[in-house]
């Protein structure tokens, strides 16, 4: 079956009890035993429940994985992935990762004996040089948040394969519709489902997709031990959102390309960071490994004051954290999503104070551009 068909049908069979085309929300914490030691496959909602099972089957199918587990947020899923490691293990991460991943690793997990190195993963040699005898995981975010730097996933998997290193890829920015890391050799894919998978900015969620049964077993153990699995209502909402993933991503992608080109030609904009522009340093890699450049882009307005004037004059686009919803969202990474990164790290990876991040929605393209243009008049 094709991607859109799978997104609508896998895990979403009609309810066998009633024939309801959409399975009900199993809003219950516990399940009755028919007799001691005999139940219908569920015992307690922390461990699992039908809405979670359904969503996990859909996400595993769309990413081409062996299995998937869904969490209360992207961060809960990413935390579970790092817990696959042991004290003394070393992880190499993309240097421009989401600020929350930077905070989790440098302020929390280091205290449990894990070592982290942040490297420009768009440079294969830089990654090779950063490997240590105890390196156990390569954690890639591509395109990276918010610089849109692109990592060659297949090249990274080759380097990692030489040393038996696990490759995990955060596929939040593109969704499996535009990029499928497992087909490029990745062992693990993570998502903030809060973003494109749900797509409607009305739930948080995370997903971890596995290719190896032994990893799947451990991730499920972590999930049910820590109690970080996604609740029934939220699973239901994300399952509903995923059904339109293909059509949404097509429109996001088309709007993203148009907006990026428009901003690139705008005299008030110093620089646009978007893998779909030929000027992007990894444009060719992006063309090879992505089905489209997507709808995430950043652009530099030169100073925090210029950015503030722009943001304060937007009328249609919303100034908000998060991304991947049907509505266009705009943020200032240095003061919002990446505020937890020390200024010198932000500077090194290119997150300037005038860098604005745009998650292009699926409103009419002309309306998005008109709003950006009127706000740019104030810069
Ligand atoms: C690329 C990326 N990964 C992970 C996360 C974390 O996801 P969540 O906010 O659902 O915990 C985010 C959040 O913005 C993100 O942008």
Report the atom number in ligand 1 closest to the C-alpha of 321.
14
324 band by pLDDT with thresholds 50, 70 and 90: very high
Name the average pLDDT for the chain.
Answer: 96
Tell me, in angstroms, the distance from the centre of ligand 1 to residue 193's CA: 8
Other C-beta atoms lying within 10 Å of the C-beta of residue 316? 16
Other C-beta atoms lying within 10 Å of the C-beta of residue 364? 11
pTM: 0.97
Tell me, in angstroms, the distance from the centre of ligand 1 to residue 115's CA: 21
CATH code: domain 3-242 is 3.40.640.10
Q: What CATH number matches the domain at 245-376, 3.50.70.10, 2.40.10.10, 3.90.1150.10, 3.40.50.300?
A: 3.90.1150.10
Residues 136-160: tens digit of each pLDDT: 999 999 999 889 999 999 999 999 9
Confidence (pLDDT) at 350? 85
Name the residues annotated as catalytic: 46, 98, 170, 195
Residues in the chain: 379
Cα dihedral sign for 91, 230, 181, 245? negative
295 band by pLDDT with thresholds 50, 70 and 90: very high
The answer to whether the CB of 130 is under 6 A from ligand 1 is no
Report the atom number in ligand 1 closest to the C-alpha of 145.
1
Protein residue with its CA nearest to atom 8 in ligand 1: 74
- Tokens 């809060």 label which residue? 194
Buried b (16+ CB within 10 A) or exposed e, 47-84: ebbbbbebbbbbbbbbbebebbbbbbbbbbbbbbbbbb
The yes-or-no answer to whether 3-242 and 245-376 have a common fold is no
In the chain, domain spans: 3-242, 245-376
- Taking the C-alpha atoms of residue 355 and residue 360, their distance in angstroms, rounded to an integer, is 16
**Selected residue with higher pLDDT from 313 and 345:** 313
Span 250-273, average pLDDT:
98
Question: What distance, in Å, lies between the first and last C-alpha atoms of the chain?
Answer: 49
Confidence (pLDDT) at 209? 99
Taking a C-beta distance cutoff of 8 angstroms, is the pair 66, 216 a contact? yes
Confidence (pLDDT) at 349? 81
The answer to whether the CB of 234 is under 6 A from ligand 1 is no
% of the chain exceeding 70 in pLDDT: 100
The answer to whether the CB of 230 is under 6 A from ligand 1 is no
- In Å, the largest CA–CA distance within the chain is 73
Taking a C-beta distance cutoff of 8 angstroms, is the pair 156, 348 a contact? no
């Amino acid at each position: 079956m094709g991607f859109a068909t799978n997104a609508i049908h896998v895990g979403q069979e009609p309810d066998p009890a009633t024939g309801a085309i959409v399975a009900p929300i199993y809003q219950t914490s516990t399940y009755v035993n028919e007799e001691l030691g005999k139940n219908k496959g569920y015992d307690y909602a922390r461990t699992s429940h039908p809405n979670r099972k359904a969503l996990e089957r859909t996400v595993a199918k769309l990413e081409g994985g062996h299995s998937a587990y869904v969490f209360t947020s992207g961060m809960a899923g990413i935390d579970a992935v790092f817990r696959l490691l042991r004290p003394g293990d070393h992880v190499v991460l993309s240097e421009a990762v989401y600020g929350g991943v930077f905070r989790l690793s440098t302020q929390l997990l280091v205290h449990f004996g894990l070592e982290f190195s942040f490297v420009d993963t768009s440079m294969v040699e830089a990654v090779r040089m950063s490997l240590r005898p105890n390196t156990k995981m390569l954690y890639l975010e591509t395109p990276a948040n918010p610089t849109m730097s692109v990592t060659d996933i297949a090249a990274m998997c080759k380097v990692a394969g030489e040393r038996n290193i696990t490759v995990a890829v955060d596929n939040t920015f593109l969704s499996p519709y535009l990029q499928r890391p497992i087909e490029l050799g990745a062992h693990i894919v993570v998502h903030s489902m809060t973003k494109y998978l749900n797509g409607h900015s009305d739930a948080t969620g995370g997903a971890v997709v596995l290719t190896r049964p032994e990893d799947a077993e451990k991730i499920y153990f972590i999930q049910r031990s820590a109690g970080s699995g996604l609740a029934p209502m939220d699973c239901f909402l994300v399952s509903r959102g995923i059904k339109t993933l293909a059509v949404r991503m097509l429109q996001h992608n088309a709007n993203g390309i148009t907006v990026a080109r428009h901003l690139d030609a705008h005299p008030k904009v110093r620089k646009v960071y978007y893998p779909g522009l030929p000027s992007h340093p990894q444009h060719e890699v992006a063309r090879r490994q992505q089905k489209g450049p997507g709808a995430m882009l950043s652009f530099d307005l030169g100073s925090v004051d210029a950015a503030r004037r722009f943001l304060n004059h937007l009328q249609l686009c919303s100034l908000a954290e998060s991304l991947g919803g049907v509505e266009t969202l705009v943020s200032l990474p240095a003061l919002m999503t990446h505020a937890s990164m020390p200024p010198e790290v932000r500077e090194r990876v290119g997150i300037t104070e005038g860098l604005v991040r745009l998650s292009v929605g699926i409103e009419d393209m002309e309306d998005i551009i008109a709003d950006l243009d009127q706000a740019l008049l104030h810069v």
